[in-house]
Amino acid sequence: MTYALEEEHVLLRAVLSVVPAATVRLALGTAEGWQTFAGASAAVDQLRLEASQCTPLVVLTEGRSDVAILEPSFALLYPHLKDLVRFMDFAYRPVGGAGPLASTLRTFAAAGIANRVVGLFDNDTAGCDALRALRPDTLPGNLRALRYPDLELARRYPTIGPPTCDAPEGRQEHADINGAACSIELYLGRDLLVREDGSLPPVQWRSFVPGVNRYQGEITNKAALQQDFQTKVRTATASPSAMATQDWSGLQAICATVLTAFH
């Protein structure tokens, strides 16, 4: 076989991938050309990177509820791109949470997965702690570990602290919960979050995480918000014009984070 290629080490690696048991010889025109073989083994990463451009972007999340919200949101907000993004089926990763997501990304890195993969962590204390331990800058070029973007809504949000002598049921205070309590439910839109009396469902502070030196918080009515979101999706699917009256800004921000992960 005869090929014309400027980077001979890439060609050599490609041929060996197809016929690993064969003896392959490359005749180079000049003595200087032999220096290109110093990078022959490194060509594997280049081949994987180029191949990944032709495969769907795979998105991993912390749990099933994230996929149940993000997948239909992406289809509604970016219908022309929905075939280019795949959300991981939790039938193949039944354990949820920030720690298992970090472990999955490490496994993908060790296995040399060719696809471009984005691991999306919640914008909360557990997510920040998992990202700290994962060290995203050490992952291969086709893997990204990111968290949900900060929300303006969350910069001053009602929270319920632990009980004290003066407040046995906990005291309600406002706090910036970005990086401490922003799970996917905080991104469903003001039209779902704001209650009839104009208030927001508070975040309950729970366990303290020493790794990042702050408490983990959780919104108080997750299940109800998730059910309301499914109604919101059905309304938007039946009548796309209804989306103009709905708030999708939080979910748009997450989708933009995915779409720009490799830019």
Q: What pLDDT sits at residue 35?
A: 44
Task: Name which residue leads in pLDDT, 104 or 3.
Answer: 104
Q: What is the mean pLDDT of the chain?
A: 86
CA dist 126 and 129 (Å) reads 5
Please list the residues that pair with 85 across neighbouring strands. 57
Most distant CA atoms of the chain, gap in Å: 85
| Inter-CA distances, 64 with 85, 108, 110, 147, 197, Å | 17, 19, 24, 16, 31
- Tens digit of pLDDT for each residue in 1-24? 555 556 666 766 776 676 656 665
Q: What pLDDT sits at residue 53?
A: 63
Q: What pLDDT sits at residue 20?
A: 58
Report the side by side order of strands in the sheet with 203-209. Answer: 172-175, 157-160, 203-209, 214-219
Whether the full predicted model's pTM is greater than 0.85, yes or no, is: no
Task: Name which residue leads in pLDDT, 171 or 48.
Answer: 171
Label residues 146-184 b or e (16+ Cβ within 10 Å = b): bbbeebebbeebebbbeeeeeeeeeeeeebebbbbbbbb
The alpha-carbon radius of gyration of the chain (Å, integer) is 24
- Tens digit of pLDDT for each residue in 25-68? 656 555 554 444 444 445 556 666 665 666 789 999 999 999 99
- Judge whether residue 214 has pLDDT over 70: yes
